[in-house]
Structure 1
Amino acid sequence: MVPTFETLPVQRAAVVLAALLAVGLVWWVDRPAGRWGQQLRRRFVAGVPWGTVVSICFVLAVYLFVQGGLAHWFTPIVIPFTAWSYTYPLGMVTAAFSHSGPNHLVGNLVGTLTYAPLVEYAWGHYPRNRGSTSFSSWRTNPYVRAFVLFPVAVVVVGFATSFFGLGPVIGFSGVVFAFAGFALVYYPLGTVLALVAGQVIRLVYGAFLTPISRVSSREVFSTPWFADIALQGHALGFLLGVLLGLWVSERRRDDHPSALRLWTGVLLFSVAQSLWAVYWFRGNGQFILYRAGGLALVTLLATLVTAAVRTDDSRMSAHWDAAGAGRAETLRGSLTRLSRPQVAFLTLLLVTALLAGPGAGVNLLTAADDELDGPTVSVRDYEVTYAENVQNQMVAVANVEAFGETTTVQTSGVIVQSSERNLWITAVSKSQLAFDGSVPVRLGDVGWRETVVATRDGWEVEGNRSVYRVTLRVGDERTPVFASDPVRAEPVLAGQNVSLAADRDGYALVVGNGTQRARAPLPVKNESVALGGIEFTNEGRKLVARTDDGTVVRVATRETYS
């Protein structure tokens, strides 16, 4: 049954009534008598995590007003707001707060809504150091802490994930993982519970957006689920959050959770959020996933984080003071006095630096600014074309070979290049275009946007692969940019081979053997052409050949797309 206008409000109301009933029952059983609000007001101004609210509003504003999501909710501009290199400041500044679409945005906002309040609660709007008062300075002012300091820290972490992310990078997920890393230091199992709560929020959002879905089986184009994960950015954000949580807890001498709770929380979160999904890109849509190695890494990560957190009454800061006491003490002597948590903390810091290093190295370089081969379409500073089996300039800005893999990989598809922005990207893969037939590529900048539509049309040659053409359309202007190599059909007719060829002007039939060949344009629909004693008829979806002896053979079939 398809939902009607009358039934949708009823179904949404059912969700609200169920939620109110659940809250009412819990309230009646617990009878909190204001305890919940009092607990929140001890940490938050008016009991509200304002820093989280401001952060969410900021990210949403970037999507609506910078990326154009207000007018184009489902089709924001993405390419110009992606982090490409340090020579393109706009991308570096906006990447951490921009998103590729509404699902990407909502997913990260839900993550922020579930993890950030835990971080803000642990940190608090009211100072907790002995001798501090709320309005003694701007640092202790609860309104400054809520509306300024927390959002500024969020922006700084966002910049870190984009400036040291292994590009191209876009999305707030690095900061979301930083929230989770910080929260795990204080509330490990509470953070895992927040992960589950995020699933509930997504379900509520989906129930309101689409109370009923009518679906059926269909073919879809998809890449491996892990191929869209910015693993390095997620891990970098997570470690930054853990380090910040350790720094705050040690500075304020806060209590820490037990080792078992912390290790369990970090491991469960890391597995659930796929921090174990270590993979390598081989080019042209091929990937390799290191599942066993990834699981070993997240297990070691949980162990290392647990070792870095003190679970007894002694403090890491005290050990730092002892290790640094005495200016005449040698460096070797200082190192020998490092405690277990200090060693673990330094190891975490080293791992974070090792993760950030490759991102910084790649971002210092720029994509190749050589002219694209073949015909192109220009949209201001963008150049767009289609190419196959060309070197991926974005991956190969640094030539690295390790464990039998290399960054010198090939790519095929719609290529977008801009020398002004130092970007080079395969915006649409060959396989995706072959599946969809027509895919839009959205270009632009702050205040303007333009769409280039890539379209593939082709013929599946009998007993062989397809022959096809690719055109790019901007407005009403179409530009042919690619034609595949000729393809020979399997049937041999009247002792002659039959091939179908493509060029900028269309398709052609080639009949003959060796150097004796005849060529003619492919006839239009419902028309025929005689070539080499064979009559070829274009029946719309099929190309049929007839010989003088009455043989009728299908030579090719029109490609179909989703």
Structure 2
Amino acid sequence: MTSPWAVLARVVLVLAVVGSVVAIARLDDERWGEHLRARFVYGLPWGSFLTVGFVLAVYLVVQGGLTSWGNPVSLPFRAWSYRYPLGMVVAPFAHVGPSHLVGNLVGTLALAPLAEYAWGHYPPTRDRGRGSAVASAHSHDSRLERPLARILAVPAAVVAVGLFTAVFSVGPIIGFSGVVFAFAGFTLVRYPLATVVAFAASGVIQQVYVALRNPVVEAGASGGGYGLPWWATVAIQAHALGLLTGVVVGIAVFYRRERLPSAGRLWLGTLVFAIGQSLWAVYWFRGNGQFVLFRALGVALVFALAFLVAASVATPGRVRGVRRVRRVVGIERRAGATMVLLLALAVLAAPAVPVNLTTTAATGTALAQDDGSAVGTMDRIHVRDYTIYYAENVTNRVVSVVDVSAFGESTTVNASGVIVESGQRSLWTTGVEESRLAFAGCATVGVGGLGWRESVHVSRTGWKAIGGGHAYKVRFGQGNGSRFAYLSGPATADATVENRNVSVVPRRAGFGVVVSRANETVDRVKLPANGTTASAGGLRFNRTGGDLFVAADGTRVRVASRETYR
């Protein structure tokens, strides 16, 4: 139930935002309304609104966000392969969750109107006396120059750029951020510093949204949590691809209008934007949740990118007496830099072709251990065309799709956790990382397609041997039933009691305790229930709460503790 304080806080926030905007509009001498009406029909960026509505509709309707706002269907809507057209088409407009969606929509609201303002709803006509472009609301040489056509050109360009980034992005990308970066690239070519300010303003929009959703927050000390490095969740290649695409389109549009900024302003704007949006975060995946960040290389690449963009659109000098020569040299220099920019775009996009032409497949395996219980994958769940199972240290079929090794890194990496695959969709992914399941103890894997979805619950229980590893088992729950998905190997405590080792072993029915000497099993017994004892191999075991103790000749040692999850 919403508290009165939360309601009051929301009202105060709305009044503060609206009052501040209205007051500053009255204090400022700039006639913003006239400027906007000169560029937009009725002074509004209709193309940007259509774009936001389209992306929101994909989330609500196609991904099922209307019925499950916080947990949309996302797996089938990634760009897995060229052999799976549905993913390629939907991926650039789909999102993995509400925070992902809101972040991209906020970026769109900050940058798309600026890009649409630079484009204009009215066709530009050249004022030869000043060499500038001005808006003409009444002269339309063709249907393509009519305001409605120019408004619709915005969402049409969004779809085209989105499909381009999906087709030429490496890996199964999902999200609208590639198009958001294309908006940024387009506006950088016309308004470099305004682009930086606009994206900074997106933080204000984001904070207002968060404050409206959670006006009052209570929190205490936290013991930490599981999570990947923030830079390991960013599709850097797709972002750079979108940015360069926007720059190229901007050059094509604004070069004809002769409305290009100075090299210095464009260099500074591109540099500040790229650094602020973490395009320097070049990283590689080593498998099993391990990553490496090449920070210095990434920062160097950003400086090179800023120079390349600035050189591609820089206007020639205007020194008297040599203006014509400088202009010819400047045009040649700009043409050469533009060709290099196009080459960089091609190089950035090329690796996606062999990766996206390849399909993936994998199988789980089961091994046997000396007491006859299985170690490894126990069972799989089939949900239509999906196969779901748990496995550890299997080849990552997405990263390893092309075998490449360089600078000590390799594409042959392993994965551990809940594996989801579908040959029909060319889909292979780690639905839940082993480390995440070990931290949380449970998770849900959602699968589906157009018009349907289904969930599989995953849970883990286990014991940690003191000074040793973990012995655990994983179960899948579907509907009202459940089944074993995985049994790990034994976990042996570091302590030696009367020249004997103690190991905890997972079984289908509970856990067992194995007593061994010199790698030979001496005895085994079922792990005792809380408050009870059991004996094996001349040792007496006692369980107190979540701790297992062993006693012999007056010595009592803790050898294992039950896993706890957050």
Q: Does the CA-based 8 Å contact 1:98-1:171 persist in structure 2? A: yes
Unpaired runs of 5+ residues, structure 1, are 324-335
2:347 to 354, 367, 385: 354
Asked if residue 408 in structure 1 is aligned to residue 404 in structure 2, the reply is no
Equivalent position amino acid for 2:35 in 1: Q
Q: Does the CA-based 8 Å contact 1:249-1:255 persist in structure 2? A: yes
Deviation per CA, 1:433-491: give whole Å up to 9, x if none. Answer: 11111011111112111111221111111221211111111122222121221122233
Please state how far the C-alpha of 1:78 moved relative to its aligned partner: 1.1
Equivalent position amino acid for 1:176 in 2: V
1:339 to 332, 342, 349: 332
Please state how far the C-alpha of 1:130 moved relative to its aligned partner: 5.3
Q: Which residue of 2 aligns with 1:249?
A: 254
1:89 to 85, 88, 95: 85
Equivalent position amino acid for 1:154 in 2: V
Asked if residue 189 in structure 1 is aligned to residue 193 in structure 2, the reply is yes
Deviation per CA, 1:323-345: give whole Å up to 9, x if none. Answer: 9xxxxxxxxxxxx9971111111
Asked if residue 371 in structure 1 is aligned to residue 363 in structure 2, the reply is yes
Asked if residue 64 in structure 1 is aligned to residue 68 in structure 2, the reply is no
Please state how far the C-alpha of 1:96 moved relative to its aligned partner: 0.3
Distance (Å, rounded) in 1 between the aligned partners of 2:29 and 2:194: 22
2:272 to 260, 268, 271: 268
Please state how far the C-alpha of 1:150 moved relative to its aligned partner: 1.2
Q: How does 1:168-187 map to 2 (within 5 A)?
A: 168-187=172-191
Deviation per CA, 1:273-319: give whole Å up to 9, x if none. Answer: 001111111112221111111111111111111111132489xxxx9
Please state how far the C-alpha of 1:272 moved relative to its aligned partner: 0.2
Q: How does 1:512-551 map to 2 (within 5 A)?
A: 512-514=516-518, 515=520, 517-547=522-552, 549-551=553-555
Equivalent position amino acid for 1:41 in 2: R
| TM-score, length of structure 1 as denominator length | 0.91
Asked if residue 107 in structure 1 is aligned to residue 103 in structure 2, the reply is yes
Distance (Å, rounded) in 2 between the aligned partners of 1:481 and 1:454: 9
Q: Does the CA-based 8 Å contact 1:134-1:142 persist in structure 2? A: no
Deviation per CA, 1:511-546: give whole Å up to 9, x if none. Answer: 132445212222333443222232323333122223
| TM-score, length of structure 2 as denominator length | 0.91
Q: Does the CA-based 8 Å contact 1:544-1:556 persist in structure 2? A: yes
Please state how far the C-alpha of 1:11 moved relative to its aligned partner: 1.2
Q: Which residue of 2 aligns with 1:225?
A: 230
Q: Which residue of 2 aligns with 1:326?
A: none
Q: Does the CA-based 8 Å contact 1:511-1:518 persist in structure 2? A: yes
Report the 3-state secondary structure (helix = DSSP H, G, I; strand = E; otherwise coil) of the residue aligned with 2:351: helix
Equivalent position amino acid for 2:198 in 1: A
Please state how far the C-alpha of 1:209 moved relative to its aligned partner: 0.9
Distance (Å, rounded) in 1 between the aligned partners of 2:509 and 2:487: 10
Equivalent position amino acid for 1:98 in 2: A
Q: How does 1:468-547 map to 2 (within 5 A)?
A: 468-514=472-518, 515=520, 517-547=522-552
Rate the CA distance shift 1:189–1:363 in 2: closer, same or farther, 3 A. same
Aligned length: 536
Asked if residue 37 in structure 1 is aligned to residue 33 in structure 2, the reply is yes
Distance (Å, rounded) in 2 between the aligned partners of 1:504 and 1:87: 40
Deviation per CA, 1:476-509: give whole Å up to 9, x if none. Answer: 2222121221122233334422211123443211
Distance (Å, rounded) in 2 between the aligned partners of 1:100 and 1:516: 49
Deviation per CA, 1:139-188: give whole Å up to 9, x if none. Answer: 11111221x22111100000011111111100000000000000000000
Q: Which residue of 2 aligns with 1:330?
A: none
Q: How does 1:286-435 map to 2 (within 5 A)?
A: 286-312=290-316, 339-367=332-360, 369-373=361-365, 374=377, 375-435=379-439
Distance (Å, rounded) in 2 between the aligned partners of 1:65 and 1:77: 10
Report the 3-state secondary structure (helix = DSSP H, G, I; strand = E; otherwise coil) of the residue aligned with 2:237: helix
Q: Which residue of 1 aligns with 2:240?
A: 235
Q: Does the CA-based 8 Å contact 2:123-2:140 persist in structure 1? A: no
Distance (Å, rounded) in 2 between the aligned partners of 1:110 and 1:409: 36
Q: Which residue of 1 aligns with 2:369?
A: none
Deviation per CA, 1:26-74: give whole Å up to 9, x if none. Answer: 2332255xx3212111111111111100000000011111111111111
Q: Which residue of 2 aligns with 1:457?
A: 461
Asked if residue 122 in structure 1 is aligned to residue 133 in structure 2, the reply is no
Q: Does the CA-based 8 Å contact 2:115-2:187 persist in structure 1? A: yes
Q: Does the CA-based 8 Å contact 1:536-1:543 persist in structure 2? A: yes
Q: Which residue of 2 aligns with 1:329?
A: none
Distance (Å, rounded) in 2 between the aligned partners of 1:348 and 1:337: 16
Q: How does 1:152-167 map to 2 (within 5 A)?
A: 152-167=156-171
Report the 3-state secondary structure (helix = DSSP H, G, I; strand = E; otherwise coil) of the residue aligned with 1:106: helix
Please state how far the C-alpha of 1:129 moved relative to its aligned partner: 4.0
Asked if residue 10 in structure 1 is aligned to residue 8 in structure 2, the reply is yes
Asked if residue 214 in structure 1 is aligned to residue 210 in structure 2, the reply is no
Q: How does 1:14-25 map to 2 (within 5 A)?
A: 14-25=12-23
Distance (Å, rounded) in 2 between the aligned partners of 1:223 and 1:215: 22
Equivalent position amino acid for 2:545 in 1: G
Asked if residue 284 in structure 1 is aligned to residue 288 in structure 2, the reply is yes
Q: Does the CA-based 8 Å contact 1:460-1:556 persist in structure 2? A: yes
Rate the CA distance shift 1:540–1:268 in 2: closer, same or farther, 3 A. same
Q: Does the CA-based 8 Å contact 2:514-2:521 persist in structure 1? A: no
